[in-house]
Structure 1
């Protein structure tokens, strides 16, 4: 992950966080990941940012009650008004073992006081412009 602004957080999974199977709700984990990614993006933009996309979400490991979930969020790409953040959620067992539970890429847009998109510092001038034909639908703007 990049050396720029980060949004790393840790949560302990409690009984109120799990589903009927006793594993962490996927939506709860995505909420935590979005929060960590927002911190990284806002630190970079030094202004309010909002989530516009969550892509390539892959759940790889169920998380149990009592586990820690360590979420690491780092800037992946800077557009003109957008910031893409790579997020990895690690399942930490009580013995210290850590395995990836989920990974995703989130895109945020920086806003001005009126709620309109504004350029972010260090932005590439045409980074938010439509991409050439080789861009797939899963690639963020």
Structure 2
């Protein structure tokens, strides 16, 4: 059974002019796309199957990410159903010169594992053992309520 730590992924995206909106900050749709892509990779690492997005819970943008800064996105599976997987996604703005970060966004995405023909397929049970894994899972569950 895969553990929460096995599913943890992190990626950085430099905010370029073609990623920005009219006020020269990251367009929310671009961040959502990056979160969705990383979330799917986390879900696939967990399930060993192709995963597609089934839902997005409370995607709120608390702070902008300015042009020239970096969007730091992380993802991890915190809950698994029969064929579905819940992935916690968080984003920060990161100054590429100093590494200073500030949290900007948080959400949970639900993915469904599917076979080549699109039929849902079972996923394994999630193992949560270490204190850090328990903390991350609890943070994700608390964010749901």
TM-score range (shorter-chain normalised) is 0.7 to 0.9
CA distance in 1, matches of 2:88, 2:51: 16
Unmatched 5+ stretches in structure 1: 124-138
CA distance in 2, matches of 1:113, 1:24: 34
Question: Per the alignment, in what secondary structure is the counterpart of residue 75 of structure 1?
Answer: strand
CA distance in 1, matches of 2:98, 2:6: 30
Hey, what does 1:109 align to over in structure 2? 112
Hey, what does 2:90 align to over in structure 1? 88
Hey, what does 2:43 align to over in structure 1? 41
CA distance in 2, matches of 1:121, 1:96: 36
Q: How many correspondences in the alignment?
A: 123
Deviating 4+ runs (over 2 angstroms): none
Q: Deviations over 1:61-119 (max 9, x none)?
A: 10111101110000110000000000001100132210111111000000012211111
Unmatched 5+ stretches in structure 2: 127-143
Q: Is the 8 A contact 1:6 1:39 kept in 2?
A: no
Larger Rg: 1
Q: Is the 8 A contact 2:50 2:113 kept in 1?
A: yes
Q: More helix by proportion, 1 or 2?
A: 2
Question: Per the alignment, in what secondary structure is the counterpart of residue 9 of structure 2?
Answer: coil
Task: Calculate the TM-score normalised by the size of structure 2.
Answer: 0.81
Q: Give the 5 Å matches for 1:1-141.
A: 2-93=4-95, 94-122=97-125
CA distance in 1, matches of 2:36, 2:116: 22
CA distance in 1, matches of 2:61, 2:6: 25
